[in-house]
Structure 1
Amino acid sequence: MSRLLIENGTVLTINDRHDIFDSGCVLIEDDRILYVGPRSGLPEQVDADRMDATGKAVMPGLVNCHTHLCMIFGRTLATDVDLLTWLDRQMPVMAAMDDAAMLHAQLLGCVENLKNGNTTVVENLFAARTDTFSPETLAFEAMRQAGLRGMVARAFEARHFDPAFAETPAEQTRRVTALARDWHGADNGRLRLAIGPLLPWAVDESMLRHTRALANDLGLPLHMHVAESQEFNRVIARHYGRPVRNVELLHETGCLGPDVQAVGVSDLSAHEIELLVDSGTSVVLDPQTRLFWGTGFPSLKPFLDAGVTCGLATNGPAANCGQDLFESMKYACATAKTAVGDPSVLPARRALRMATIEGARALGISHQTGSLEVGKRADVITLDLRQPHLTPASNLDACLVFSARGADVRDVIVDGSVRMRDRRLTFIDETALLTRCNDLANACLERVAHRQSDSRPSVSREIS
């Protein structure tokens, strides 16, 4: 048995009452929270290791509900193009990755998330299919080494997609079944698997139904890009040969429900929002990448008004060039307010909950993480408040959402294990990792330069 006492900090619990303890503490025993509250609530002498949080905020680790760590070697490539052209330019880099590149890309992404205070991460992984290694296994291995609470959301691509990335439903079933057996619920429930089509026109109705049936059989959630832009819905209508919209299609094929996360939703009708509400489907919002790609100014108010569970995400490090969920909170508030001309539409407290307990609820793990409460897993971060840009912190919620950034995170604990202390990682040589990743990324880019890109079909082409 091990115990850790985090004391003398400002403890922000994110519980139902949103309790804040100005001189509070968190007592951790093994992987669980044993006590949260004022220091006076514990005996003077506690048999535990100590972490002094004087001048720091102590809060739940953040929940990054959607990223693509598999694309991290494409960071800063194609930053001034539309979404689908960007994808066309990123995929050759991904196709050039071998097993060493994939493992180190995933590990680099895990490190970046931890250093930004993201203790839970959903990696929406798509990769060129190969029988020499399993990209998903390497992603899980990286999460295991980093100590993250992670979900690998394995994407499915088939029709109208680069053949190197495509597979048949039978191949999907074989691979997903093996992954579920080996990884779903692994490491004391810290690692989980999800599935779903990468793009709605990369499959047909039968494939959507097949994926839903497979998820049901294996007890897996569905995680999908949904209605990311007006162009998405136009392409869907052409692909399926009828005027159907993305969420309507998912409803028809049984792919909505409380075990579903719809990611990047930017172009939804009022009827589609009703379908989300009636089915209990959660949405995952990444407002900064919507703005970067120019796919539409995301209005969050319809989801908030309808009572949809909303998680927040950074999207991939090649999409917004970072993994800072504090930035996502700030963007969410700014876009929600500006979209409807109402500065009160998304308060800082709600944004903070979207990045913690509400995000955990969207992933179906709010019983484990997302708040500091007795019995929950000990996923805890601290932020140094003794900095010019965080002084004064008259309103802690607003300070964290509008002024803080990932670089302010000092300590990170996942499942009771200290993964970063005073910004020093405890499990890896960070300098060596960065050097290795630069070398591997350069090797991938060199391989891409020797290939003819015009021999590869475009995922953004017109689909008849």
Structure 2
Amino acid sequence: MTTTLFSGGHVLTQDAEGREYRDGCVLVRDDRIAFVGAAADRPMEPVDRVIDVTGKLVMPGLINGHSHLCMVFGRTLGPEKRLLEWLDVQMPLMAAFDQEAMYVAQMLGCLENLKNGNTSVVENLFSTHPEGYPPEDAAFQAMRDAGIRGTVARAFEGRHFHPDFMETLDQQARRVTDLAHRWQGAEDDRLRLAIGPLLPWCMTEEMYRETRALANDLSLCLHMHVAESPEFNQLIARHFGRDIRQVELLEETGCLGPDVQVAAVSDVSAHEIDLLARTDTRVLLDPPTRLFWGTGFPALKPFLDAGLTCGLATNGPAANCGQDLFESMKYACATAKTAANDPLALGRHRVLRMATSEGARAIGRDGQTGRLEAGLKADLITVDLRQPHLTPNLDTAAALVFSAKGTDVRDVMVDGRLLIENREPLFIDEGALLRQAEQIARCCLRAAGLSHLCP
């Protein structure tokens, strides 16, 4: 048994009562939190290691509900393009990946998430299907080695897409079943698998129903992009030959419910929001990407008013060029306030829950992470409060949401294992990884005929 004590800091629990302790401590025993509270009340027992967090905030690790780490080599190639034009650049680059490229991309993405304080991430992976190795294995191996709490949400493309990325229903069923046997619940449930369609016009009604049946058979969550822009719904109506919107299509095919995570959701009607709420479907919001692409101004407040469980996301590093969930919190509040013309549309306490406890519930990790509470997994971060842009600290929640940045994170623990200490990775050679990623990314750009984009 190994025990670690975080002592001397300000502790923000994010528990149901919203408790915080100005002079608090967190005791970790093996992979779980053993005690959270005032320093004066901690159990007097020997500990293996004491970490002095004076001047820091100890809080739950952040929950990044939707990303595309598989696209990290396309960073900065997208912010001045429309969504579908951006895909025309990103897909040839991804098609040039081999096993090493996928692993290094995923490792780089995991490290970026960890250094920004994101202890949990959902990787929505879409890829070609090369002979010799499953790309999903490379993603899982990187998550395993990086130590992050991760879900690989494997995407499905069945029609009207680049042939190298498409597969049949039988191929999906065989590959997903094999992956589930190898990885679902691995590393003491630190790693999980989810599935879902990538784009709605890549599917038929039968494909939706069969994918849902496969998820049910294997007890997997569904994770998918939904209504990213008005163009999405126009393409859906054209491809399905009738006047139907995406959430309505999902309801028809049985693809809504508490085990379903819908990301983006920029262009949804009041009726669709009602469908999401009545089925307790989970929503993952990534306002920075919506604003970068100009694909629709995310209102946010209607989701909150409907009582939906909402998590936050960064989307991929090639979409908004970063993995900073503090930035996503700030953007979420700003866009919600502007869309509603109401400074109270989304407050600091709610958005913090969306990044922690509510975000964990949104991705099916409630009762495991997202709060500092005895018995839960020891996923926590420290934030350095002794900085000009966080001084004076008159309201800790407001400081985190409106002033803090991912670079303020100092220490990161996942599953009771300290992964980052004073911003230094303990189990990853950061310098070697960055050099390797730079080299492989440029090789992939050349192979994809895209070198002109990065002189």
TM-score by length of 2: 0.98
Instruction: Return the offset for 1:47.
Output: 2.5
Contact 2:333–2:346, Cα closer than 8 Å, also in 1 = yes
Q: CA separation of 1:341/1:42 partners in 2, compared to 1, >3 Å: closer, same or farther?
A: same
Residue 3 of structure 1 pairs with residue 3 of structure 2: yes
SS at match of 1:262: strand
The equivalences for 1:41-52 within 5 A come to: 41-43=41-43, 46-52=46-52
In structure 2, give the amino acid aligned to 1:310: C
Aligned equivalents of 1:31, 1:412: Cα separation in 2: 13
- 1:273 corresponds to which residue? 273
In structure 2, give the amino acid aligned to 1:254: G
| Sequence identity (%) | 63
- 2:310 corresponds to which residue? 310
- 1:391 corresponds to which residue? 391
- 1:211 corresponds to which residue? 211
Aligned equivalents of 1:77, 1:168: Cα separation in 2: 31
Instruction: Return the offset for 1:158.
Output: 1.5
Aligned equivalents of 2:34, 2:417: Cα separation in 1: 14
Q: CA separation of 1:43/1:263 partners in 2, compared to 1, >3 Å: closer, same or farther?
A: closer
Superposed CA deviations along residues 110-159 of structure 1, whole A, max 9, x for unmatched, are 00000000000000000111122111010000000000100000000021
Superposed CA deviations along residues 198-237 of structure 1, whole A, max 9, x for unmatched, are 0000010000000000000000000000001100000000
Runs of 4+ aligned structure 1 residues displaced above 4 Å come to none
In structure 2, give the amino acid aligned to 1:34: A
In structure 1, give the amino acid aligned to 2:98: D
Q: CA RMSD in A?
A: 0.9
Residue 367 of structure 1 pairs with residue 367 of structure 2: yes
Aligned equivalents of 1:320, 1:188: Cα separation in 2: 32
Aligned equivalents of 1:197, 1:45: Cα separation in 2: 51
- 1:59 corresponds to which residue? 59
In structure 1, give the amino acid aligned to 2:382: T
Aligned equivalents of 1:142, 1:41: Cα separation in 2: 39
- 1:289 corresponds to which residue? 289
Aligned equivalents of 2:138, 2:51: Cα separation in 1: 33
SS at match of 1:449: coil
Structure 1 segments unaligned to the other structure (5+ residues): 452-464
Superposed CA deviations along residues 406-460 of structure 1, whole A, max 9, x for unmatched, are 0000000000000000011010110000000001001001101189xxxxxxxxx
Q: Choose 325-334 or 40-49, whichever is displaced more.
A: 40-49
The equivalences for 1:158-177 within 5 A come to: 158-177=158-177
The equivalences for 1:281-430 within 5 A come to: 281-430=281-430
SS at match of 1:164: helix
In structure 2, give the amino acid aligned to 1:258: P
Q: CA separation of 1:271/1:146 partners in 2, compared to 1, >3 Å: closer, same or farther?
A: same
Superposed CA deviations along residues 263-321 of structure 1, whole A, max 9, x for unmatched, are 00011111111110111101000001000000111100100000000000000000000
The equivalences for 1:215-254 within 5 A come to: 215-254=215-254
- 2:72 corresponds to which residue? 72
In structure 1, give the amino acid aligned to 2:146: A
Structure 2 segments unaligned to the other structure (5+ residues): none
Contact 2:25–2:42, Cα closer than 8 Å, also in 1 = no
Aligned equivalents of 1:208, 1:352: Cα separation in 2: 33
Instruction: Return the offset for 1:78.
Output: 3.0
Aligned equivalents of 1:395, 1:17: Cα separation in 2: 17
Instruction: Return the offset for 1:81.
Output: 1.1
In structure 2, give the amino acid aligned to 1:137: D
Instruction: Return the offset for 1:7.
Output: 0.6
- 1:119 corresponds to which residue? 119
Instruction: Return the offset for 1:46.
Output: 3.4
Contact 2:263–2:285, Cα closer than 8 Å, also in 1 = yes
Instruction: Return the offset for 1:42.
Output: 1.8
SS at match of 1:57: strand
Aligned equivalents of 2:287, 2:385: Cα separation in 1: 26
- 2:185 corresponds to which residue? 185
Aligned equivalents of 1:450, 1:183: Cα separation in 2: 34
Superposed CA deviations along residues 22-66 of structure 1, whole A, max 9, x for unmatched, are 000000000000000001112556333100000000000000000
Aligned equivalents of 2:119, 2:43: Cα separation in 1: 30
| Matched pairs, number | 451
Aligned equivalents of 2:428, 2:415: Cα separation in 1: 18
Superposed CA deviations along residues 162-218 of structure 1, whole A, max 9, x for unmatched, are 001000000000000000000000000110000000000001000000000000000
Superposed CA deviations along residues 246-268 of structure 1, whole A, max 9, x for unmatched, are 00000000000000001000111
Aligned equivalents of 2:221, 2:44: Cα separation in 1: 45
Aligned equivalents of 2:42, 2:208: Cα separation in 1: 53
In structure 1, give the amino acid aligned to 2:288: Q
Instruction: Return the offset for 1:79.
Output: 2.2
Contact 2:78–2:319, Cα closer than 8 Å, also in 1 = no
Instruction: Return the offset for 1:88.
Output: 1.2
Residue 25 of structure 1 pairs with residue 25 of structure 2: yes
Q: CA separation of 1:390/1:238 partners in 2, compared to 1, >3 Å: closer, same or farther?
A: same
